[in-house]
Amino acid sequence: MPDAKRIDGKALAAEMSETIASETRELLEQHGIKPGLAVVIVGEDPASQVYVRNKKRRAESCGFNSVQHSLPADVDQDSLLALIDELNSNEDIHGILVQLPLPSHLDEKTITQSIDPSKDVDGFHYVNVGKLSTGDTDDAFIPCTPAGCMLMIRRELGDDLSGLSAVIIGRSNIVGKPMAALLLAANATVTVTHSRTKNLAAVVREADIVVAAVGRPEMVGGDWIKPGAVVIDVGINRVERVVDGEEKSVLVGDVNYAEASEKALAITPVPGGVGPMTIIMLMHNTLRSARAGLAD
């Protein structure tokens, strides 16, 4: 079969950004509400700094009020909780995001669970997790990466995935488990695999939909992919490669893109696939939160 269709997350995110910006203008003009997104970052982790910059840039391009709180790496937990409490009470802030990972002296679970569920635009609070797992998603926030992945899958295969098998590689709370819930809700038959799964390649080979979120560079080779499968590569791994005779640091996914492209129907690239969708779904959730107040 010919090479797979490249699922362009960057183009899809740009398209969604225009829609969100237009709806944001309407919300401000008709109701005087401007979506407010507060991002809290602790320390100087370079990758986190890049993510936060990208989120801020996208929020501003959508017309949001983007607020950043940068805290020192040695901030104590009580101070961080006090800031979150303040943001929970701030009517101009509709979404609160604490950039992960946090320094080891801070309790990640306590921090994420302190965010008001109605402002938890990352979808990590147990209230939102519970609603997703039971299929009650009308007023729940869905974690941004799985939500973006699901949107791309629906674009390729439609809203009803009945009769299709999906294999998720990775069982994290951020991607693997919520991804399984979304695929189940769309009637796919779902298998969640992980480091303890036996004959992993054989399991993946049966899948019509593959979501790779394991954090191992190019672990999934072309011989793992069923002909005609849709492949969503969540992995972002930095590796050293020789490019034009020079050793350079490049980004690759969990899937060997060149090999998998020879088998798949459609596949996301790294970079330019899932990453931009994660950020735009954060904006989507923030706009939803700002609108939610209209129903009160």
CA gap 63, 25 in Å, rounded: 7
Distances (CA, A) of 76 to 79, 100, 195: 6, 16, 35
**Is residue 109 among the annotated active site residues?**
no
Which one, of 157, 284, 144, 143, lies nearest residue 231 by Cα?
Answer: 157
Catalytic residue (one of 99, 119, 177, 208): 99
CA gap 255, 261 in Å, rounded: 10
At residue 48's C-alpha, the angle toward residues 258 and 57, to 5°, is 85
Catalytic residue (one of 55, 119, 131, 177): 55
Q: Tokens 């986190």 — which residue? A: 48
CA gap 239, 248 in Å, rounded: 8
Catalytic residue (one of 119, 120, 122, 233): 122
For residue 118, give the DSSP letter.
G
3-state secondary structure of 60: helix
With beta carbons less than 8 A apart as the criterion, state whether 18 and 278 touch: no
**Is residue 49 among the annotated active site residues?**
no
CA gap 88, 116 in Å, rounded: 6
Give the up-direction half-sphere exposure of residue 270: CA atoms within 13 A in the CB hemisphere: 24
**Is residue 55 among the annotated active site residues?**
yes
Alpha carbon 216 to chain centroid distance?
Answer: 18
CA gap 281, 290 in Å, rounded: 14
Q: Which residues are catalytic, by number?
A: 55, 99, 122
